[in-house]
Structure 1
Amino acid sequence: MNTTHRLLLAACCLACLPASANPPPRFPAGSVWHQNIASAPLHPNSTSMINTLVGLGGWGNGNKFQIDFSLQTYPEAAPGTPMRTIVPHLGSGEYYSPDCEPLPASMPVPADAAFEGQGGLSCDNDNEDCHLLVKQGNLLYELYSGNYSGGVLNARCLAIWKLNAVYPPEGRGEHCTSADAAGFPIAPLLVNADEIAANVGVANSDLGHAIRFVLPNARMARDTSLGGVGGRLYVRPASHAGNPTGPTGTVPYGVRMRLKSNFNMAGYSAAAQVILRTMQRYGIVLSDGGNIALTFETDRYTTAKWNTLGITAQTFFNGANGSTPVLVSHFEVIDTGARIGETWDCVPSNVTVTDLIFAHGFENAP
């Protein structure tokens, strides 16, 4: 099955969703996030990078390929939803400029929206990531380190993604962060219960997009020879690096890893197998520093529910029904280009059109 067929299958699966279902936001098919990498070339140092990461302890949280269900995307803010003004993070006065939307800026905030891990519009953004993700039409608003009070949002970053654009290789801009440290969008890389439900029962199906993952900063590569600030570095499709402090030989910010084609899926449910096939065909991309490897959407806004689908935080490491726990050693590293030293001097790409050509390098992948 080639890339076009898989994209058509994914579209058909989403078309079968009930009207109340809310699959995650999507970029155009030509976006790097939708490129099938099942046959893309491996990085020449794939084996050594994987072995180094294994030696550092593998995944975070005791080397568990665990799922965090705290992020949530408001699926569609209605026209006329109040726009709330963004101000710099209260207390620190910090706002990531010019990486994020220039101030004054605003975003729609539905009354029933909620911050990451919260039940509403209050979040301790001194101590938590406090993401707020809201889609409205062709725009995706992603807020980082936010809190809502007194009619305004105080935050460290607002990134607005144009969902009808295929971004250039540097995304929103070279050396530019977003609501995620790698400069990635968040919502389109999450796993969502409705998109899983649409694919369960469809033979050999997948989600059709790369999946977000995180690692502790001490397990991500640092290299002072590249001229980056403090040895910070990244690879495509990233445009930015946070604060990696690991050895040079491990995986870098932005790395795209592919689950090996011979991974044994026996014992996994149909829903889990959809996710595993997605990791084989579209990979996982290293988006931020953290301790829980996988980030799936809460089912707050979805018709399908995780408990009905049988997906829990422990699905990929508990060995239930004789399944093989997913380890770092089950992955390989895709070659997405040279390492880039992180200067932290953001050069915005100023994407304003909908037909940009993305030179992703995987045009001939099946």
Structure 2
Amino acid sequence: MPKPASRLLGPALLALALTPLLATAVVPPRFPAGAVWHQNIADAPLHPQSRAMLETLAGLGGWGNSNRMQIDFSLHVHHTAPADAPRYEVIPHRGSGEYWRPDCEALPTTMPVPADAAFEGQSGLTCNSANSDCHLLVRQGSKLYELYSGNLSGGVLDARCLTVWDLSVVYPPEGRGEHCTSADAAGFPVAPLLVNADEVAARAGDANGDLGHAIRFILPNARMATDPALGGVGGRLYVRPASHAGGPSGPRGSVPYGVRMRLRPDFDMAGYNPAARVILRTMQRYGLVLADGGNIALTFESDRHTTAKWSTLGITSQIFWNGTGGAAPVKVTDFQIIDTGPRIGETWNCVRSVALPSIEIFLNGFDPA
């Protein structure tokens, strides 16, 4: 079977091959350069317990799914909802009656849903939210709408949470609010932390290219740290940049919700194709942030709405764990943990951040309230 073009071409030829595609490449939703997600952490100080935490995690089984750094491509992002896109009312989850307040947007509210948008893992606008995460991610102008555990039925969206992010704003350290969740358990935005095929293609011809932003990852809850001494509900805890912890149930010595890890600078990239190296360099310079509980470590944006396709780039769900082409699999012990501050006990008592009167206020770290 012929190999994908990205494995046969050198960086320069790969760039030429992708040039026609990139003419219509989408622009992924990203925050301003000053946002924490765009902080280069290649030289950031390590946490004093970095090695011990990672060894504890490895002892618990490492990554989920039998310790495989696998990629899930099921999350769709609609990048440019038109101003006249239909808007649907959001109501509490029909199956459970849950809607997380005050963490999520106050009801009644609406969100834009273009006709070609789709729920996570689906081809359209219905989703079995009783058994799946059912994210719906839509950008309209500078606003990013992220719905969790949703379904569209009878012209109404039912969900457990809708969060709206302002992509023009650098949020404060507590994000949308201390102890506040979002469409991701850690309180993070989802779409800006996904890896997008067009942005990888745009940098695959650069021998030193990276994506310039942190990457979302997940672990089984039983492998994330708890500590009853911190006073959190059930010992739950998190660290920055998280503002919330979901359901961690692991030992104190493991990694916490929100942990930011970088791939070691000496990781051997031999055997990886140019596109994969872009992603690995991003892990070295901007790192991974622990966003949610689950079994598949990495979540990349699907190529439903992108010009570049993962198959053309030679990026498969198994590329980082099965040693494809003689490459070394990526293990949890190949990482280092940076020090992002003390552990915070999770009270589940969300205190939303004040309205953002200006970007400059939070860039300076000053909250007038």
Match of 1:323 in 2: 327
Match of 1:355 in 2: 360
Aligned pair partner of 2:98 in 94, 98, 107:
94
Aligned-partner Cα distance in 1 for 2:289–2:364: 18
Question: 1:214 and 2:212 equivalent?
Answer: no
| Offset, 1:200 | 0.8
Aligned pair partner of 1:110 in 95, 108, 114:
114
Distance verdict in 2 for CA 1:260–1:359, change over 3 Å? farther
| Offset, 1:37 | 0.1
Aligned pair partner of 1:160 in 164, 180, 193:
164
Question: 1:62 and 2:66 equivalent?
Answer: yes
Aligned-partner Cα distance in 2 for 1:173–1:30: 18
Match of 1:244 in 2: 248
| Offset, 1:79 | 1.0
Aligned-partner Cα distance in 1 for 2:58–2:97: 39
Q: For 1:137-180, what per-residue CA distance to the aligned partner results, in whole angstroms no more than 9, with x for missing partners?
A: 00000000000011110000000000000000000000000000
Aligned-partner Cα distance in 1 for 2:203–2:90: 38
Question: Residue type of the partner of 1:327?
Answer: K
Aligned-partner Cα distance in 2 for 1:195–1:72: 15
Match of 1:81 in 2: 85
TM (norm. structure 1) is 0.93
Aligned pair partner of 1:187 in 181, 191, 198:
191
Tell me the matched-pair count.
Answer: 346
Runs of 4 or more, structure 1, over 2 Å off, are 15-20, 350-360
Aligned-partner Cα distance in 2 for 1:121–1:82: 13
Match of 1:275 in 2: 279
Question: Residue type of the partner of 2:302?
Answer: T
> Contact conserved, 2:147 with 2:159, CA < 8 A, in 1?
yes
| Offset, 1:17 | 7.2
Aligned-partner Cα distance in 2 for 1:23–1:17: 13
Question: Residue type of the partner of 1:111?
Answer: A
Partner SS for 1:357: helix
Structure 1 unaligned blocks of 5 or more: 1-14, 361-366
Question: Residue type of the partner of 1:330?
Answer: D
Aligned-partner Cα distance in 1 for 2:275–2:247: 34
Structure 2 unaligned blocks of 5 or more: 1-18
| Offset, 1:94 | 0.6
State percent identity of aligned pairs. 70
| Offset, 1:194 | 0.2
Aligned-partner Cα distance in 2 for 1:246–1:351: 35
Aligned pair partner of 1:287 in 284, 288, 291:
291
| Offset, 1:117 | 0.2
Q: 1:14-53 alignment to 2 at 5 Å?
A: 18-53=22-57
Match of 2:258 in 1: 254
| Offset, 1:64 | 0.3
Aligned-partner Cα distance in 2 for 1:74–1:279: 25
Aligned-partner Cα distance in 2 for 1:225–1:238: 19
Aligned pair partner of 2:145 in 131, 141, 147:
141
Q: For 1:29-80, what per-residue CA distance to the aligned partner results, in whole angstroms no more than 9, with x for missing partners?
A: 0000000000000000001000000000000000000000000110110111
| Offset, 1:351 | 3.9
TM (norm. structure 2) is 0.92
